[in-house]
Amino acid sequence: MKKQKVAVAIDFGTHGTGYAWALIDDDKRQVHPYMRWKDQPAPTAKNLTALLLDSEGDVLAWGYEARRRFNSRSAGPDVRYLKAFKMSLAPASTEGMEVGELTATSLSADEAKNLVTLYLKQIFRLAVEEVAASGFTEEEIRWCLTVPAIWGDYEKQLMREAAVAAGLPDDPKRLLLAYEPEVAAHHARVSGARTAQFTGKRPSLMSVGSRFLVADCGGGTVDITAYRAVSGNKLEEIGRECGGKFGSEYVNQAFLEKVLVPRFGSYDAIDRINDQQPAALLGIIEKWEEAKLHFSAEHDDEIIISIPVSIDRCLDEESRKSLAELQDGVTDEIVITAKEAQELFEEVVPGILSLVDKQLGEMRSQRRNAPGKELVVLVGGFGNSPYLRQRLQQHLEGRADLLVPPDPQAAVLFGAVHYACSPQIRARRARMTYGIASTTRFRPGVDPEEYRYEGPDYPLCRNRFSVYVRGGESIPVGNWVTRGQWPIWPDQDAMSLVVYAAREGYPQYVTDKGSQKIGSLRVDLSSVMHLPLSRRKVQVSLQFGETEIQVTAVLQESGEKVEAVLDFEPLS
Amino acid sequence: MHEETRGPDGRFSRLEAMLDSVVGDTTELRAYIGSVQAEVEELRQTVAGLEARLDLVVASWTAFRTDLDTEEAESHRTLADRYVNFVEQSLYGVARKAVKEKHGDIPPDRTARMVAGLCSELFGRADVSERRVRRILGVRADHELAQTVQRLVTQARGIVAESVRMKTRGFWEFDHIPGAPLDESRQQAWARCDESDPVEFVVAPAYVAGGTTYSRQRVRTSAS
């Protein structure tokens, strides 16, 4: 394998996706974001996560170009415009209130995976071309793809499969999956994040032992994770990851439903406008998006958005009447009062604060309620919002300091580049309790009778949960947890190893509530059938600590490593 | 009858000689392999050294490429976003209030001219004056908008100061040709102006840095 000399990171987001790269051995570590997307309104490090497909499902355009062509109808009929499909890779919501689904996200995980592949292919092509212009080959690139921390193993596996199908290498050493808040934490440390109060005091993110929480607030999801800085400039994950669908896209959704619909009179009016002038309607929502990221609760300023003449022509009497009634006679602009704007933010802010509280509680209990303030680092595009920052700051008063890096929107992207250059994470906390379904000696009066069956020598109990790692346990990256497994029957020529995950820390049986099969592998024992049962031991190892779990099985007697395929299955 | 001589000085001495020869050859072979290994190691180090030098050359070339963006470009982008919002919400908001107070309604032309005046003052001069800003808005020092003016001037100064601090300094571009068609590559129509009409005047200048336009000019267009 060629030595990797270039690190390319892809921040794949619900709303926008971008890539950046750097030379791995460059002392100055100059990061190069790509900012020249076709049809972008202004230079930006993120292209729209959007695709325009023809009737065959082939890509006609992507990103801003896809949106332009769709809105201008220049691509013709029978085309599909899709966006926000990242959310459909993980359709099950995690925690928090039910905010409702974003539009255009009712896709199956497989459909979403296909769209992710189509999109990543475009990014891959661009990135390889740009890096090649410096004289590097594709084989010299180490890739890093970001994923939300709240994603389960199944979603991460889907993402990896989509990336490989798009052309990225099928090698865990060359294609890293990194958690978004994790890389953002690293960027915050190196970029000089300061306290939101700007006291001038340097935060202690760099100090060994410093503990901080990262709130990654993006377009779709909000991920909350906690870390501790350990020696060697590395991070150890602490606390338990949590998150939910409280991203800024939901504030946009609320804007559509609670501002535009009442002002234009009805959903039908919106549909009519969207049908006749989709680009102009989108322009209004974008203006809202821009204005909301600068809205502050400190002032009573209204947010004013011009209604384009093209939309004005679509308005009927009812729409004009609604506008005039709700806006003191103003019909050529959308005027949103400060109070209304606050109410839109409050659709998601309480959920975000609740998640932060939960994580802070976990961090506090770990340090046994010793006095002291925690640090909260705010990153992600939504982290740019002064309103969100102010609410968070007020909420954390006396309990934690709030830190914001100079460019929270780019924190994940730039952080991912640095991570790809030198992966920083030393240890992680296990997301759940993991183990293997096994059989043990039956315990009368303890094990359920229905699990009992007669073994060759004594009664046995099936469905026992053989724990490899407990939820919350800190596991060094790359560490293998190994247990021995033996076949039951002398004529058993294969062993089926079924891997389970449980939300509880001490599951007894794989049938316990909250326990679910997440994958399986089959071990062929034919090469050791000539040996007595006691010598047909299989060393089953689960490697934790990386973004995914790897499983291997080794026949101890022969040292033969059995090829095994572990398929993750979605958690219900 | 002739008897062959047997014993240590006979057959075994022949075997010994053969063994000595094999040992000698093996020793020679070992020495040869050792020297080859040493040469290979030397070659490896030479190749590694050449590769490292080549990497330095490539790194230098990459640093000088003019088609690549840097982290600073992202900083210019965020500053441009802040500037645009300042113009389209803060300046427009205060101009709107001032025009409404003076004229009773909000004629688009008047507000556009007022915003243009504000932008010219705040981003077209080194010596920004609160007094001149109040004059543009038509408000006195004791007017309720005076505090807003103070805040806006401070914000504008902050935006300009940040552009100056960048390694590649950003600047505001007002150049335009009245009566010319709107140039989409550097201009966009202000508010509800028709982009097919010719440019009348610049409402808000473009923000440019390093030859890249991070925010296009906002221009008022008019058919007349």
What is the residue-wise DSSP string for A16-40? Answer: EEEEEEEETT-TT---EE----TT-
Same domain, A60 and A127: yes
pLDDT score for A96: 32
Same domain, A444 and A557: yes
User: Quick one: closest CA in A to B88, which residue?
Assistant: A304
Residue A567 lies in a domain: no
Q: What is the pLDDT along chain B (224 residues), one digit of tens a residue?
A: 334 445 556 778 889 999 999 999 999 999 999 999 999 999 999 998 998 888 888 888 888 888 899 999 999 999 999 999 999 999 999 999 999 999 888 899 999 999 999 999 999 999 999 999 999 999 999 999 999 999 999 999 999 999 999 999 999 999 999 999 999 999 999 999 999 999 999 999 999 999 999 999 999 999 87
* Segment holding A146, helix H or strand E: strand A141-147
The answer, for B81 touching chain A at a CB cutoff of 8 Å, is yes
User: Quick one: closest CA in B to A312, which residue?
Assistant: B192
The answer, for A419 touching chain B at a CB cutoff of 8 Å, is no
The ipTM value here is: 0.79
Residue with tokens 């808000």: B204
Same domain, A239 and A253: no
Q: Where in the sequence is the domain holding A231, given as residue range(s)?
A: 194-243+351-422
pLDDT score for A557: 87
Same domain, A502 and A389: no
- Do A23 and B59 lie within an 8 Å CB cutoff? yes
Which among A301, A306, A406 is the nearest to B191, CB-wise?
A: A306
Q: Could you tell me how many residues make up chain A?
A: 572
- Do A407 and B74 lie within an 8 Å CB cutoff? yes
Phi-psi region of A369 (alpha: psi -120 to 50; beta: other; left: phi over 0): left
Residue A572 lies in a domain: no
Per-residue pLDDT of A210-245, as tens digits, reads 888 999 898 888 888 888 877 656 777 787 778 888
Structure tokens of B153? 């001037």
Query: Which H, E and C letters describe B188-216, residue by residue?
Result: EECCCCCCCCCEEEEEECEEEECCEEEEC
What is the reported pTM? 0.81
As for how many domains chain A has, the answer is: 4
- Do B70 and A30 lie within an 8 Å CB cutoff? yes
Mutual orientation of helices B130-137 and B146-165 as an angle, nearest 10°? 130
**Residue A76, φ and ψ in degrees, nearest 5:** 85, 180
Same domain, A540 and A400: no
CA distance A140 to B51: 13
Residue A65 lies in a domain: yes
Residue type, A547: T
In which residue ranges of chain A is pLDDT below 70?
1, 91-106, 192-206, 231-233, 368-372, 424-429, 477-478, 544-548, 563-572
- Do A293 and B194 lie within an 8 Å CB cutoff? no
Residue A496 lies in a domain: yes
CATH number at residue A453: 2.60.34.10
Residue with tokens 């309104």: A41
Question: Domain ends where: A377, A392, A422?
Answer: A422
Same domain, A255 and A402: no
pLDDT score for A93: 39
Residue A81 lies in a domain: yes
Laid out side by side, the sheet with B212-215 consists of: B170-173, B206-209, B212-215
Which three-class secondary structure state does DSSP give residue A437? strand
> How large is the C-alpha radius of gyration of chain B?
40
CA distance A221 to A37: 24
Q: Could you tell me how many residues make up chain B?
A: 224
Question: Domain ends where: A422, A447, A470?
Answer: A422
Residue A189 lies in a domain: no
Instruction: Please answer whether residues A7 and A131 qualify as being in contact, where contact means their C-beta atoms are separated by less than 8 angstroms.
Output: no
Same domain, A154 and A23: yes
Same domain, A72 and A142: yes
pLDDT score for A142: 96
Same domain, A501 and A360: no
* Segment holding B185, helix H or strand E: none
**Residue A287 with chain B: CB contacts under 8 Å:** 88
End-to-end CA gap in chain A: 39
Residue type, A394: Q
CATH number at residue A168: 3.30.420.40
Same domain, A321 and A406: no
Per-residue pLDDT of A467-479, as tens digits, reads 998 887 777 766 7
Same domain, A28 and A175: yes
pLDDT score for A233: 61
Instruction: Please answer whether residues A213 and A401 qualify as being in contact, where contact means their C-beta atoms are separated by less than 8 angstroms.
Output: no
Handedness of CA A148, A154, A160, A166 (dihedral sign): negative
The answer, for B76 touching chain A at a CB cutoff of 8 Å, is yes
The answer, for B223 touching chain A at a CB cutoff of 8 Å, is no
Instruction: Please answer whether residues A33 and B69 qualify as being in contact, where contact means their C-beta atoms are separated by less than 8 angstroms.
Output: yes
CB pairs under 8 A between A and B: 100
Residue A568 lies in a domain: no
Listed residue (A252, A180, A247, A260) closest to A214, CA to CA: A180
Cβ contacts of residue A309 below 8 Å, gap of 6+? Answer: B192, B194
Residue A571 lies in a domain: no
Question: Domain ends where: A402, A422, A442?
Answer: A422
**Residue A421, φ and ψ in degrees, nearest 5:** -70, -40
Same domain, A472 and A493: yes
